[in-house]
Each structure stands twice: as structure tokens, then as C-alpha cells.
Structure 1
Amino acid sequence: MKKWILFLAMAMTVSLLAACGGEEAVGTEGESKEITIGATAGPYSDMVTKAIKPGLEAKGYTVEVKEFSDYIQPNNALAEGDLDANLFQHKIYMETFAEQNGLELSEVIVVPTAPMGIYSNKFTSIDAIEEGSSIAIPNDPTNAARSFQILQDAKLITLNSDSDPLTVSEKDVQDNVKKLKFQPIEAAQLPRAVESTDLSAVPGNFALAAKMDLLDALQLEAMPDQYRNRVVMNTADLDSQLAKDIKEVVESAEFEEIIDEEFKGFGKPEWMTE
């Protein structure tokens, strides 16, 4: 009889320990505290690792950061449940990808993003740019539109007042002050184009991948929030505790301090500057 009592006591102890262990892996609303966040290799995986992960770990999460080398897999992995969130894309890309692939994706919060810049090894300032200079610009419509907006902000061109800022192209250039010669090329090749052209409009992610200093740009983009990267989750999870916790971490003073120290030149979203 004593043996049976001892056996039952041990069984109850094991069950209690197992239950406690289970509670450590589950949030207050029954959500898992072991999460995976995907990001493209480089500044945005660094941002997750250095600025987001510590805040989530302080809230009791176990965070794995998974790096990707392309812009297709992170959203597919999110939709398939292999990721809980990702960070690599702007609003226009997210909405277009979701529509084309039948996915339900939503942003949790916009984060500081590396801006496009006008770079040159020939000129040291916008004012020094000579008439007839060549400038390499992205050959995809979205990034090309961004390059024309920067050139207008730098007062190098004037765009048609009726044009849509998100879709402007060379045909919308009303006045080309310096008679610049536009050379559309693949965005990934734009950092190299600094060597072969007078000017190059380089998206921030490609500039950083090429070890360029954002602050060396002659002109940095006044980036609309549509072009800033955001933390994205499946729409069905947008009201989850994890989504709320990610938002709280990104809105914290600690997050902004890390951005100011580790991500110099990154443009802050409107909510951070209001």
C-alpha cells in the first residue's frame, strides 16, 4: 500500500512539473512564447536581432531570427506558418504580393528604413553636378518613381504637377534643369554604377549591402511611409498578443535609442517624428 501511495505521489509531481513547463511556453492568452521572425539578411535582420528581439525576450518570448536572401520566401513562409512575423518589405510590395498570391497580410508597425540616395564619386555636392551628367536609376517602376522624387527634391528636375508621386516616370519630367541623362539598370547593380556613371540613385538596402555609407549620399530620400519597411503578420494574427507586444517594443524608447546608435542615416516613420 505504501508503495502505491509513493508511486501516486511521484506521478502527481511529474504531472505538476510538466504542467508548469507547459505554462512557460505559452502566453497569457494561450499563445506560444516561442516565435520565429524572418528578415532579409543585412540591416533588417540586424534590426530584429539588435532592436526587437531583446524587447520581446524581456516579455518572456524565445525568439529565433531566420534570414532570407530573397523577397519571395519570407511572405510564403509567413503564410505557411513557418514564421510568426517578418520584416523586409514596404507597403506597396506587401499589398501587391498578397494580391498576386492570394495571401492575407497586414502590417503591425512601420520601422525606420534605409532611404534611397543619390551617390557620386565624381561630384561632392548637388550644386557641383555638371550639365549633361549621366545618372543610373532603377529600371523597375516603383524604385524609378522614388529616384525621380529625390531628383525633384534636389531641384535637379521638375515633375508634372498632375503626376502621381508613386508612379512618376521619365515621361513626367517637365524640366530637366541639368539635362541629366537617365540610364535605367537593375537595382542591384546601382552601387557598382557609381563607378561607371556620374551619379547613381541607389536604394538603401543595396547601398548597405555594398558597404556604402548612407551619409555619403549627395541627397537622401524624403521617404514616404509607403516605402518604409514594416513588421508584417498574417491578417488573422493582427489582434494577437504577439502583435501587440511587437508594436509596444518598437514604440519603446529603448528601440529608438538602438536605431540612433546602430542605424545611422535610416529615415524614421511619421509616427516617430510627430
Structure 2
Amino acid sequence: MKKALSLVVVFAFAVMLLAACGAPKAADNAGQAANSGASSTPAPAKEDAKKALKIGATAGPYSDMVTKAIKPLMEKKGYTISIVEFNDYVQPNKALASGSIDANLFQHILYLKQFAADNKLDLKEILSVPTAPMGIYSKKFKSLDDIEKGSTITVANDPANLSRTLLMMQNFGLITIKKDANQATISEKDVEGNPKGLVIKPIEAAQLPRTVDSTALAAVPGNFALAAGMDLTSAIKLENMAENYRNVLVVKTSDIDSQFAKDLKETLQSKDFEKIIDEQFKGFSKPEWMKAAAGKS
């Protein structure tokens, strides 16, 4: 009897020992499962939490547009906006492509496509914005009809603005351009008709406002006119701006479907944005999408 009782005690002790040894192993397996991410409930999708944005713009009206219109409206959506100013047309796109900034506003779509292709950059426009039109200014003549033969007209020497200027002059009936000319790279060499014998003098765009007093005519891009304190409405003729010459807000193509890009687009399409444009950017030409939206309201 004692021998049987002893066997029972030994057996019970062995069972307890085996159970104790097995418990840590089960816990280890559970920990490994937790560490490996195994779970019956899938992890929630990662949200787009980018709320601090850097927007690049050339110094002048488009930096002002970001400061006075885009920044305050985006901040109402919970964003923090920093503005990075540039003084040329090369660095804003390179900075965007490298990730130094998140968006930029300074260029029209033709320039964007040409620059991106030439430099192998993957950039995409969000939407066009109201843009300061180019105009012909003169202290000597009050209208295009008054322009005398042989008059000198100063124009921008950079390819984008030069092409745009010559197309504007053609639209005004001052010159004609070869039909096979590439619209992105039109130059004086593409002018085939010049009935008034105008002397076309290319110079640096930023210097054009200074020539209004000293030259018969000056074709001044809107941003440089405004930067020099000129009144857009004082031009003897403002361009009938084509849609592809309106400035666009641009991001990297990989960000075009991001939440911040969607919020930027929504901001541009808002009534509050248009109200600021009407109050603080007089003379700016509105894009067709904005005109259409106003017509529906």
C-alpha cells in the first residue's frame, strides 16, 4: 500500500514538473507570434500625415499669392506652410524634384513640360491659377495703331518669355511667325512678317520695366511689371492669355494623389481663394476653369 501511494505521488509530481516546463515555451511562442505581427485583426492603414509643407515660388506676385491666399487657407485645414523664394526659373523645379520643397508656383505648363523633359524630372501640375498677363507698355504711344514704323520694342531674352512675347505680338497683328515654328522655342529667327519694321531687342526680363521710359515699346511679363510697381492696366494692350501660359501649382508626380495635393487643389477651387484674388491681385487673368465655376454659381 505504501509502495503504491509513493508511485502516485511521484507520478503527480512529474505531471506538475512537465506542465511547469511547458508553460514558458507556450508563452515564448505567443511572444514570437506577437513580435512577428501575427494577429487576427489587420493593422490599420497608415494615414497621410504630412502637414508641414514647403512651397517654392519666385519672388514677386506668386510668392505673394502663396503668402496671402494659399498659406492662410491651407493653415485653416491644419497645415503649416513655409515659403521658399527663388530668383530664377531653374532651381524651383530642381528643388521640388529633390524633395527640398513639396510644391512650387512660378511657371506655365509649356515651360514645366519642356524643363521636365530636358532635365528628366517627374513633375505634375495640380491646377492653373490666376496669372498676371504680359502687356505692351509705352510712354510714347497710346495705342497699337499709333506705333510708328521702325520703332524699337524690348522683349525678354529667355526662351519661354520670348516665345510668348512673339506670339502675343502676332495676335496683335504686329508680326507674323513661321507656321512650322515650335511654339515653345520661337525666337526672332522665326519672324517672317514685320509690316511696321519693328526692331526687336531681347534683354533680361527683369530689366524690361526700366526700358519703358527709354524705349518706344516694352513687352513686359506681368510678374516683372508688378515687381517693379507697374500698374497692369496702364499697358496699351494686355495679352489675351492662352490657357497654356497660365501659371500652375506643381508637385512631384508621386505626390499628385496625396492628401496634401488634394487639399491644395481644393484650396485653389474655393470661393475664399477667388475672393482674395479679386481683392489683392487686380488685373490678373483668371483661368477658364475658374470662369466656368463662377458661371455655374
Note whether the superposition's TM-score is higher than 0.5. yes
Contact 1:150 1:219 in 2 (8 A): no
Contact 1:38 1:86 in 2 (8 A): yes
Question: TM-score normalised to the size of structure 1?
Answer: 0.82
Aligned match for 1:142, one of 160, 171, 174: 160
How far apart, in 2, do the equivalents of 1:125 and 1:141 lie? 27
Evaluate the alpha carbon distance shift between residue 131 and residue 240 of structure 1 in structure 2; reply closer, same or farther with a 3 A threshold. same
Alignment of 1:70-109 (within 5 A): 70-109=88-127
Alignment of 1:44-123 (within 5 A): 44-123=62-141
Aligned match for 1:179, one of 177, 197, 213: 197
Q: Residue type of the partner of 2:116?
A: A
Q: Residue type of the partner of 1:257?
A: K
Contact 1:134 1:183 in 2 (8 A): yes
Contact 2:125 2:250 in 1 (8 A): yes
How far apart, in 1, do the equivalents of 2:61 and 2:273 lie? 15
Alignment of 1:1-20 (within 5 A): none
Identify the residue that residue 245 of structure 1 maps to in structure 2. 263
Identify the residue that residue 266 of structure 1 maps to in structure 2. 284
Evaluate the alpha carbon distance shift between residue 253 and residue 226 of structure 1 in structure 2; reply closer, same or farther with a 3 A threshold. same
Aligned-pair identity (%): 60
Evaluate the alpha carbon distance shift between residue 272 and residue 167 of structure 1 in structure 2; reply closer, same or farther with a 3 A threshold. same
Identify the residue that residue 256 of structure 1 maps to in structure 2. 274
What secondary structure, in the 3-state scheme, does the structure 1 residue paired with 2:282 have?
coil
What secondary structure, in the 3-state scheme, does the structure 2 residue paired with 1:195 have?
coil
Identify the residue that residue 29 of structure 1 maps to in structure 2. 47
How far apart, in 2, do the equivalents of 1:218 and 1:136 lie? 15
Q: Give, in angstroms, the shift of residue 103 of structure 1.
A: 1.9
Q: Calculate the aligned-residue CA RMSD, in Å.
A: 2.0
How far apart, in 2, do the equivalents of 1:44 and 1:50 lie? 10
Gaps of 5+ in 2: 1-45, 293-297
Count of residues paired in the alignment: 247
Question: TM-score normalised to the size of structure 2?
Answer: 0.76
Q: Residue type of the partner of 1:229?
A: N
How far apart, in 2, do the equivalents of 1:128 and 1:247 lie? 44
Structure 1 or 2, whichever has the larger Rg, is 2
Contact 2:110 2:184 in 1 (8 A): no
Deviation digits for residues 113-140 of structure 1 (CA, Å, limit 9, x no counterpart)? 1121111111122222122211112223
Contact 2:155 2:219 in 1 (8 A): yes
- Greater displacement, 144-153 / 254-263: 144-153
- Greater displacement, 36-45 / 183-192: 183-192
